[in-house]
Structure 1
Amino acid sequence: MQDISFELRGEYIELDKLLKATGLADSGGHARMMITEGQVRVDGQAESRKTAKIRAGQRVQLQGQPAIFVLAPQG
């Protein structure tokens, strides 16, 4: 599995929106369900806040899926 690089468009992205934007969740509801079930880790720690603000430099991991590396906006 190859890791995913995700470039922010602003200061942050909410966790559920990140999972949907990267295609790891089929919908926002699916993303929120995975977070609630404890399947998501941010920087190695379990994250249960659906709208946690994910910023540049953070790493998000979903069980059995590639890691997402969040990058600062270019430009």
Structure 2
Amino acid sequence: MSASSTPETIEISGDMIRLGQFLKFANFADSGAQAGAMIVDGDVSVDGVTETRRGRQLAKGMLIEVRTPDRVLSAKVG
């Protein structure tokens, strides 16, 4: 599976956002609990590195990828 060639940029209001919040904001997760489970399961990467911390701070320009059984979802923090 591969990510789409041009990931969508999700604009945030401040300079930083936590990973769990971003997954909900980008509609990759329906709830905080689902976002946490995806992170703990190792299905989420930040700039190509698997991330297991829900509270990881994300800055603008970072690439977030979520592996699902069907595909890889990707978005940049904007």
Structure 2 unaligned residues grouped into runs of 5+: none
Q: Deviations over 1:11-58 (max 9, x none)?
A: 101000000011110101000000000000000000011010010110
Aligned-residue identity in percent:
31
Counterpart residue number, 1:62? 66
What TM-score, normalized by structure 2, do the two folds share? 0.84
Structure 1's consecutive aligned runs of 4 or more residues displaced over 3 angstroms after TM superposition are none
Structure 1 unaligned residues grouped into runs of 5+: none
CA RMSD for the aligned pairs? 1.3
Match 1:53 to one of 46, 54, 57: 57
The count of corresponding residues between Structure 1 and Structure 2 is: 71
What TM-score, normalized by structure 1, do the two folds share? 0.87
The alignment status of 1:39 with 2:43, answered yes or no, reads yes
- Looking at structure 1, the residues matched to 47 and 18 of structure 2 have their Cα atoms a distance apart, in angstroms, of 15
Residues 4-15 of structure 1 aligned to structure 2 (within 5 Å): 4-15=8-19
AA in 1 matched with 2:75: I
AA in 2 matched with 1:61: E
